[in-house]
Amino acid sequence: MEAVEEADGKGCVYFCSLSAVTPPEHVKIAVDAALAFRRGERPWNGLRRAGTPEARGETGSTKAKNDDAALIAATTAGQELSEEDHLLDDLFDAVLDHEDRLAAELAAQGLEKGISTQSLLDDALIAAMDDVGDEFSEGTIFVPEMLMAARAMKAGLEVLRPALAQTGEPPKGLVLLATVQGDVHDIGKNLVGMMLEGAGYEVVDLGVNVRPEEVLERANELKPDVVCLSALLTTSMPSMQKTVALFKKVESVYPMIVGGAPVTEEFALKIGADGYGENAPHAVETVHRLVAMGLGAQSAA
């Protein structure tokens, strides 16, 4: 993917379609180039550049440099990392590097070496996704990167799931997810679901194009702590409003969070939702807050 071509006072930014598997470094190149071009910066005059600095052999990986520096600092201080710490760090990095297979392998190795399931979850998988959420909030990474990291986290989580069940540790809460009627988009919903699972919640995903009555029926059946509704189309926002209105009409005890590209906090307040998820990390934070308040049926039970 070429970032920019500049010559004779004219320039253009080349973009390809970005998907969930587009290399994140390519996404960042494209966005950085576009922002710089809009600012009037022209550092590429007469140059044609493609790929990343690492791919061109210009610099080493920033991450590798940071890892090396941390290891040198720990060794210098006489605090050489234990085998367990090394594995947890590697699992943490596998999530950040979007390495699904490696994350699963390292999670399995951790269990074999006797590392506690909770430590593998809290100190590696969840900790990595916390970092991902912070970077997304800061604007240094984007949805494709966050989605790939979440997939790697889920790959590790699937390995840990049987062991977690054996510990008898209850989930932090039960969350019901759905994309509202009239909308078949699910990337945002799926991302929220994966991040919630990684954070220790049980998640039931009703899928896409879900009728208001079906959401209420399943909520009454499952008695979740929180119901999360997603919409990507402005045309499906009325259905989101109808779903929330139906829950309010029957005086349900299930807190409701709404989110999606066209959804705003103002709209969430207008329709009477209990929370708003500006993005996936923010949605997870809102779930944490509502569960901590003990408003849901599970918490009340």
Sorting pLDDT into bands at 50, 70 and 90, what band is 142?
Answer: confident
Active-site choice (90, 186, 230, 236): 236
pLDDT higher than threshold 80 for residue 117: yes
Active-site choice (93, 183, 186, 205): 183
Parallel, antiparallel or unpaired: strands 226-230 and 256-259: parallel
Contacts with 245 (C-beta within 8 Å, 6 or more apart), sequence order? 271, 272
Of the residues 85, 100, 131, 185, only one is catalytic, namely 185
Active site residue 185: yes
Torsion, Cα 24 25 28 32, to 10 degrees, reads: -170
> Strand ranges (DSSP E) for the chain?
2-7, 10-13, 48-50, 174-179, 202-205, 226-230, 256-259, 275-277
Angle between helical axes of 280-293 and 127-138 (0-180°, round to 10): 120
pLDDT at 106: 97
Structure tokens at 244: 């929330």
Q: State the pLDDT at residue 45.
A: 52
Per-residue confidence (pLDDT) for residue 238, from 0 to 100: 98
Average of per-residue pLDDT across 51-69: 47
Total residue length of the chain? 301
pTM assigned to the model:
0.68
Catalytic: 17?
A: no
| Residue 128 pLDDT greater than 60, yes or no | yes
The predicted pLDDT at position 3 comes to 43
Catalogue all structural domains in the chain, each as residue range(s) with its CATH number: 2-50 (no CATH), 62-167 (1.10.1240.10), 174-300 (3.40.50.280)
Q: Is 131 a catalytic residue?
A: no
Q: What is the DSSP letter of 236?
A: G
